[in-house]
Amino acid sequence: MKKSWLKENYIACFKFFKESEKHILFATLLFFITAFIGFLFPIFFREQIIDIMTQMIGLLDGKSAFELVSLIFFNNMKASFMAMVLGIAIGIFPIFTGIVNGYILGFVSRQVVAVEGIWVMWQLLPHGIFEIPAILFSIGIGVKIGTDLFKEKAKEKLRKNFREGLRFFVFVVFPLLLIAGIIEGLLIAILG
C-alpha cells in the first residue's frame, strides 16, 4: 500500500511538471541568461554582493559538517519555498528570485574563476546538479501560480496549483535540496 501511495504521488508530480514545463523553461532561461550577464558584466551591485558573500562565509566559518549541511539545506529550502508560494503576487517574486540568484551565481563564478582558474567550477557541479534544478522548479511553479491568476477559473487554478506545487515541493524539491545540502556541506567541511 505504501508503494502505491508513493507511486501515485510521483505520478501526480510528473503530471504537474508537464503542466508547468513552459514556466520551468522560462525560469531556467531567465536564470541562465542573468548568470551569463553576471559572469560577463560583474559590475552591478558589486559592493552589495560582496557584502552578502562575506556574511555567508562568516555564517559558515567554524561550523561542523552537520551544522553546515543543516544551514545550507534550510536556507535553500526557505528560498525555494518562498519563490514558489510568493508566486501568488502575479509571479513577480519568483521572477525577481530567478534574476537575482542567476546574476549572483554568474558574478561569484567570475570572481572565483579569476582567482582560482576555470577548473574550480567543477567543485560546483556535485551539488549544483541537485540544487539548481530544485530552485528552478520552485521558481517555475511560482511563475505558474502567478500567471494562472490571469486565466479563467483563477480561484480553482490557484487551489490546484498550490496543492500540486506543495506536493511537488515535498516529493521532488525537498529531496533534491537535501542531497545538495549534504554534498555542499560535506565539501565545505572537507575542503575548508
Q: pLDDT tens digits, residue range 108-148?
A: 899 888 888 777 777 777 778 999 999 999 999 999 999 99
The per-residue pLDDT of the chain, averaged, comes to 90
Count: domains in the chain: 1
- The confidence score (pLDDT) of residue 64 equals 86
**Encoded amino acid at 63, one letter:** K
Whether 1 has a pLDDT exceeding 60, the answer reads: no
**Which residue would you say has higher pLDDT here, 187 or 153?**
153
Query: Which residue blocks in 20-91 are alpha helix, DSSP H?
Result: 21-40, 46-60, 65-85
- Residue of 96, 95, 178 whose CA lies nearest to 134: 178
What is the average pLDDT across 70-97? 93
**Which residue would you say has higher pLDDT here, 59 or 82?**
82
The range of the structural domain enclosing residue 97 comes to: 2-191
- Residue of 107, 116, 93 whose CA lies nearest to 49: 107
Q: How confident is the model at residue 15 (pLDDT cuts 50, 70, 90)?
A: very high
Whether 37 has a pLDDT exceeding 80, the answer reads: yes
CB 77 within 8 A of CB 174: yes
**Rounded Cα gap, residues 8 and 164, in angstroms:** 12
